[in-house]
């Protein structure tokens, strides 16, 4: 098959990591893959040498003329070969891809990557999404957010783990609580820092390590300083080798207000870490975690509940370790091979009907 994956960029993030895993898998199966970046040109993940990467411009800044140019540029790429299947990632990028494909022979699949309820223009989105040949949702909850006419064209495919996962970590752990994600409001790192303050009063020898980058970094550092935690809250930046960073931590915590399926949470579970997550929409965390069996779920936005969950893990290390071992089921259930096969089948269906 000939596949064009369209994304805003590949500079680091959950969607970008999934694209890298899919692209590498598909070229390994002798499919032709192009990754087209519409807004950025940085690539943070390792890609197979056979994956073609194109950048067609920078941010539009809201400019109508630049948006129209982006659509025209995509359309020219699509028209080069009618057999190319277009796979687009993310709501805004999906808009551009669908409009660029109007009237062409190419089939267009769009992937919804986050909580659909966060979209500020759902009527327009749904109108444009009806032009898609098929849709990929991360959870059943996400599919249910859409009208039946759109939902029935959709397939639920959760995120894959990266191709190579380190062996699970057991035994002695360092006294670090870790998280990973963009430093943006959705991830609610402020809540995690606040919860860590309560935890730190009882467990002063732990530190909180935050992996990721984003425009809230200085604000979050200032907040940690206000709570007198500047020596205990470490902002470690983005890492494309996050497994090595998480491997020996005491626990992983996800504090998001909403989330698709968290790649970092999945990787932490695959490594056998005790994990805690907010029970956030669109159900990805609840899909992965059975509360008190292979991790802990806490209400969204509750610093007190998050503090108590971290204390529970620290106080009962044997129970925490047991939950970590049970979390390792994701290694098989969400392996790159199994999930990428589902993507190939979904794309192949479009290819055969093209």
- Domains present along the chain, CATH in parentheses: 2-160+335-352 (3.40.50.2000), 176-333 (3.40.50.2000)
How does DSSP classify residue 160?
A: P
- pLDDT of 351: 53
- pLDDT of 271: 95
Tell if the pTM clears 0.85, that is, is over it. yes
pLDDT at residue 207 is higher than 50: yes
pLDDT at residue 232 is higher than 60: yes
Stretch 209-233: mean pLDDT, rounded?
96
Higher pLDDT, 89 or 62: 89
**CA-closest candidate to residue 203, choices 307, 106, 304:** 307
Stretch 96-114: mean pLDDT, rounded?
95
How far, in Å, CA of 133 to CA of 57, rounded?
Answer: 26
- pLDDT of 353: 45
49 SS3 class: coil
Least confident of 55-59, 184-188, 251-255: 55-59
Reported confidence tier of residue 349, pLDDT bands at 50, 70, 90: confident
Residues 27/50, Cβ–Cβ less than 8 Å = yes
pLDDT at residue 131 is higher than 90: yes
Element (H, E) at 19: helix 14-28
What is the percent of the chain where pLDDT is above 70? Answer: 98
- pLDDT of 241: 79
pLDDT at residue 97 is higher than 70: yes
Any bridge partners for residue 36, and if so which? Answer: 6, 54
How far, in Å, CA of 188 to CA of 181, rounded?
Answer: 10
- pLDDT of 240: 73
What is the percent of the chain where pLDDT is above 90? Answer: 85
How far, in Å, CA of 58 to CA of 40, rounded?
Answer: 6
Least confident of 20-29, 161-170, 191-200, 269-278: 161-170
- pLDDT of 40: 85
172 SS3 class: coil
How far, in Å, CA of 197 to CA of 206, rounded?
Answer: 11
Element (H, E) at 199: helix 189-202
Residues 297/285, Cβ–Cβ less than 8 Å = yes
- pLDDT of 350: 53
């Amino acid at each position: 098959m000939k596949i064009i994956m369209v994304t805003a960029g590949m500079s680091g993030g959950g969607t970008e990591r999934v694209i890298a895993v899919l692209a590498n898998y598909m070229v390994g199966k002798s499919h032709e893959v192009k990754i087209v970046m519409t807004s950025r040109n940085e690539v943070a993940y390792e890609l197979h040498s056979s994956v073609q990467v194109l950048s067609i411009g920078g941010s539009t800044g809201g400019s109508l003329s630049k948006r129209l140019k982006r659509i025209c540029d995509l359309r020219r790429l699509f028209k080069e070969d009618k057999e190319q299947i277009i796979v687009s990632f993310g709501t805004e990028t999906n808009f551009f891809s669908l409009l660029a494909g109007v009237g062409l022979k190419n089939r267009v699949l769009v992937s919804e990557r986050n909580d659909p309820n966060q979209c500020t223009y759902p009527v327009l989105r749904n109108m444009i999404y009806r032009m898609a040949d098929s849709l990929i949702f991360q959870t059943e909850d996400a599919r249910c957010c859409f009208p039946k006419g759109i939902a029935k064209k959709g397939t639920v495919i959760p995120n894959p783990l990266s191709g190579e996962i380190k062996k699970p970590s057991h035994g002695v752990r360092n006294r670090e609580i870790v998280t990973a994600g963009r430093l943006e409001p959705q991830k609610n790192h402020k809540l995690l820092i606040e919860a860590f303050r309560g935890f730190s009063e009882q467990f002063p020898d732990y530190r909180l390590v935050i992996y990721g980058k984003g425009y809230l970094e200085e604000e979050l550092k200032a907040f940690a300083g206000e709570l007198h935690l500047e020596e205990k809250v470490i902002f470690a930046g983005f890492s494309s080798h996050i497994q090595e960073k998480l491997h020996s931590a005491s626990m992983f915590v996800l504090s998001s207000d909403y989330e698709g399926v968290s790649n970092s949470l999945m990787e932490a579970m695959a490594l056998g870490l005790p994990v805690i997550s907010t029970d956030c929409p669109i159900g990805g965390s609840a899909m992965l975690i059975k509360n008190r069996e292979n991790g802990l779920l806490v209400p969204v936005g509750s610093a007190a509940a998050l503090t108590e969950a971290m204390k529970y893990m620290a106080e009962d290390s044997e129970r925490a370790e047991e939950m970590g071992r049970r979390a390792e089921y994701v290694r098989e259930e969400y392996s790159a091979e199994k999930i990428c096969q589902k993507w190939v089948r979904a794309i192949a269906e479009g290819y055969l009907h093209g």
